[in-house]
Amino acid sequence: MTDTVVIDIATKALMVSVKLAAPILIVSLAIGVLVSLLQTVTQVQEVTLTFVPKLAGVALVILVGGNWMLHEIVHFTQDLYMSVPQLLGN
């Protein structure tokens, strides 16, 4: 196994992790900004107010996109296991 193969596998793993984390992080960021804006407008400065909406948003994203996320992980793992004989042969 050469160093380019290792870098290629690491790059693919990072891309899969970015694809899986992006929807959750984007929803969490959007909810955080909206709640902060609401807190600023109403002058309610409660730190713990953002947790419940973020938790609900992340749960909704996982509920809606969980099947796709699981499919992506399984597909990446299957591709990696399929390439093991080729990796060991070189």
Q: pLDDT band at residue 57, thresholds of 50, 70 and 90?
A: very high
Residues 32-44 have pLDDT tens digits of 999 999 988 988 8
Question: C-alpha angle with apex 19: 31 to 22, nearest 5 degrees?
Answer: 15
* Whole-prediction pTM: 0.82
Structure token digits, residue 80: 């990696």
Confirm if 52 and 75 have CB atoms less than 8 A apart: no
Tens digits of residue pLDDT in 6-22: 999 999 999 999 999 99
Joined tokens for residue 79: 């591709």
**Full residue range of the structural domain in which residue 16 is found:** 3-89
pLDDT of residue 61: 97
CA-CA-CA-CA torsion sign (13, 31, 54, 45)? positive
Number of domains in the chain: 1
Q: What is the mean pLDDT of residues 19-28?
A: 97
